[in-house]
Every structure is written in C-alpha cells, then in structure tokens.
Amino acid sequence: HLQQVGWRLAQFAQTIHVQFEYRGFVANSLADLDASMLELRSPETESVAVNSVFELHKLNARPGALEKVFSVIRQIRPEIVTVVEQEGNHNGPAFLDRFTESLHYYSTLFDSLEGSLVEPQDKAMSEVYLGKQICNVVACEGTDRVERHETLNQWRNRFNSAGFSPVHLGSNAFKQASMLLALFAGGDGYKVEENDGCLMLGWHTRPLIATSAWKLAAVNSVVVSH
C-alpha cells in the first residue's frame, strides 16, 4: 500500500513539474512519530507540508497524544497543515449524547450512500466500515474508544491553542471541490459549502466532513482557548 501511495504521488508530482521524493513510515499511531524519523532537509532546500485525513480524532483517546503530535508538527515547521475530519460531536463523556449525535450523523451517511452511484461491493464495504465506527462510538469506553470525532469549531480551538493560525482555503479550492463533486458524486444530494475559510462536505443540509488548513502562528499572535 505504501508503495502504491508513493507511485501515485510521484505521478501527480510529475504532471505538475514538482521535484518529488517519497519515503514511507509505518507507525501504530501518529503519536509514535518523532521529528528525527522524517530525516528532513534544511528549509532552504525543501518545503514541508502536513496532511492528516481522518487520523487526529483518534489521538483524543490517549492523554497527551494530540499535544505530542502538535509538538512534532511545530518542530518540523511546515509551510501548511491540512486536516480532514468528520464533522461530528462524538467525543463527549455522556453516552446518551454520543448515541443521539451518532444516530443522526450516521443515518445521514447511510442516506448519502443510498443516494449516490456506488458499486454494490463498495457500498457493502462502506457499511461494514461505518458499522465498526458506530460500535466503537457507542459501545466502547476509555482508550478503546478511538472514534472520538469532533466538530470544526472544536478543532479550531485545539489548533489555535496549539499555536497555529487558520489559512483560508480560497475560492479556487471551493470551485475545484464543487467540480469534482459534480463529476463523480452522482446525484445532487452532496453539497460543498465554505465555512469561514474551511470547506464542508455535506448531504443536503447536514455537514459530514470538514477540511481546514493551518500554519504556524506568529509568536505574539497565539490565541489561548479555555
């Protein structure tokens, strides 16, 4: 799988004429990564970008894990940090609140699968995958409950407190996302909306996935949230 990812990235880099090298790392969690493992060159010779897709919420299950990852990101000083996370509030301590929120969230996800042009085998795999998520949200506690999704506003507070400033994704990203949605989503139920510089993918009126971008904040502009 790592080789396939590297091959696809190399192909894409070639099409846009960007010099590219790929190194793969295997870790049980993002919290197990260390800046020294990445073997980064000096900022004068390469630019660093961090892209996290559906991974950061799992760190909420381990005390201090998210803070460690933020620390590593600050050490490597990336030009940009992009984050994709589920737009759900599944990290609360009260079971009934988690159950109600997950019921509304996942019922919308299943509705979107029913309304999209998905191959039967892909749909079945998605249902199994989502079923495991639901079980984890409502049936597990402590460090076993890893599907601790949070809302975009909650992630904003976390990133601001960790010393990052938001980066507006811009109208071009919105237009590209809308175009890809029109080409591949099938049907008109999926919607892309802009939310204070971030992009939200939703099904009809319900947001499902949020994409945001961040950069290291200036030392004198860090916002501390309580």
Asked whether residue 195 is assigned to any structural domain, the reply reads yes
Same domain assignment for residues 18 and 40? no
Same domain assignment for residues 3 and 45? no
Same domain assignment for residues 188 and 115? yes
Residues in CB range of 27: below 8 A, 6 or more apart:
33
Same domain assignment for residues 43 and 8? no
Q: Which pLDDT band holds residue 216 (cuts at 50, 70, 90)?
A: very high
Per-residue pLDDT of 21-33, as tens digits, reads 888 888 888 899 8
Same domain assignment for residues 66 and 144? yes
The model's pTM is 0.88
Same domain assignment for residues 147 and 174? yes
Closest CA to 88 of 205, 168, 206: 206
219, pLDDT greater than 70: no
Same domain assignment for residues 18 and 50? no
141, pLDDT greater than 70: yes
Asked whether residue 226 is assigned to any structural domain, the reply reads no
pLDDT of residue 226: 45
Same domain assignment for residues 10 and 95? no
Same domain assignment for residues 54 and 74? yes
Per-residue pLDDT of 109-140, as tens digits, reads 999 888 776 777 888 889 899 999 999 999 99
pLDDT of residue 27: 84
Residues in CB range of 67: below 8 A, 6 or more apart:
162
**Number of structural domains in the chain:** 2
Asked whether residue 200 is assigned to any structural domain, the reply reads yes
Per-residue pLDDT of 155-170, as tens digits, reads 999 999 999 999 999 8
Same domain assignment for residues 2 and 45? no
CB 199 within 8 A of CB 170: no
Alpha carbons 112 and 52: distance in angstroms, whole number: 24
- The DSSP bridge pattern shows strands 198-203 and 206-216 to be antiparallel
Alpha carbons 162 and 17: distance in angstroms, whole number: 34
Same domain assignment for residues 193 and 128? yes
Q: Residue 12 belongs to what domain range?
A: 1-28
Same domain assignment for residues 10 and 38? no
Q: Which two tokens stand for residue 156?
A: 């904003």
